[in-house]
């Protein structure tokens, strides 16, 4: 009987100790503030967004700006390359179309009309074509 009494007291003390330890662990995990929890979730997303901006979006915008500037600065006599790989010299410019001289047939130059957006680049070097210098 005394053994049962002592066993009951010791088991009650053990249960209290376990409950106190669980309460301490819960208090430690509850100490994280809601602001810190939100920062833990949002900060990685913000960092990924920054990486995407500086690695993908910003360089593409810079390239698009250069292409737009090149297309706006086209002038009569420029030697260009189209996206289809055709080399020609600009002979006429309208709003969204460019007329190109692409070669000679007989004595007259062959002309071709292309869309402005279809021009890849302006050649820096003048090209000699059948004894005639095209700028």
pLDDT digits (tens, 9 = 90+) for 71-93: 999 999 999 999 999 999 999 99
Report how far residue 84's alpha carbon sits from residue 120's, in angstroms, rounded to the nearest whole number: 9
For 42, half-sphere exposure in the C-beta direction (CA atoms, 13 angstrom radius) is 6
pLDDT digits (tens, 9 = 90+) for 47-58: 999 999 999 999
For residue 132, name the pLDDT band (cuts at 50, 70, 90). low
pLDDT at 66: 95
Inter-CA distances, 4 with 10, 11, 14, 16, 97, Å: 10, 10, 15, 18, 102
Degrees (nearest 5) of the Cα angle 95, 127, 65?
40
Average pLDDT taken over every residue of the chain = 81
pLDDT digits (tens, 9 = 90+) for 25-51: 555 555 788 888 888 899 999 999 999
Cβ(118)–Cβ(82) below 8 Å: yes
pLDDT at 124: 82
Residue 128 has pLDDT above 70, yes or no: no
């Amino acid at each position: 009987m005394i053994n049962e009494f002592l066993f009951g007291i010791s088991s009650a003390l053990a249960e209290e100790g376990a409950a106190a330890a669980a309460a301490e662990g819960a208090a430690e995990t509850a100490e994280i503030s809601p602001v810190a929890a939100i920062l833990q979730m949002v900060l990685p997303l913000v960092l990924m967004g920054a990486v995407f901006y500086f690695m993908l979006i910003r360089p593409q915008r810079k390239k698009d700006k250069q292409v737009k500037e090149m297309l706006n600065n086209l002038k009569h006599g420029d030697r260009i390359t189209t996206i289809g790989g055709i080399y020609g010299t600009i002979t006429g410019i309208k709003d969204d179309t460019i007329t190109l001289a692409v070669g000679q047939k007989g004595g007259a130059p062959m002309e071709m009309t292309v869309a402005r957006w279809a021009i890849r680049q302006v050649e820096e070097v003048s090209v000699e074509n059948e004894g005639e210098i095209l700028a």
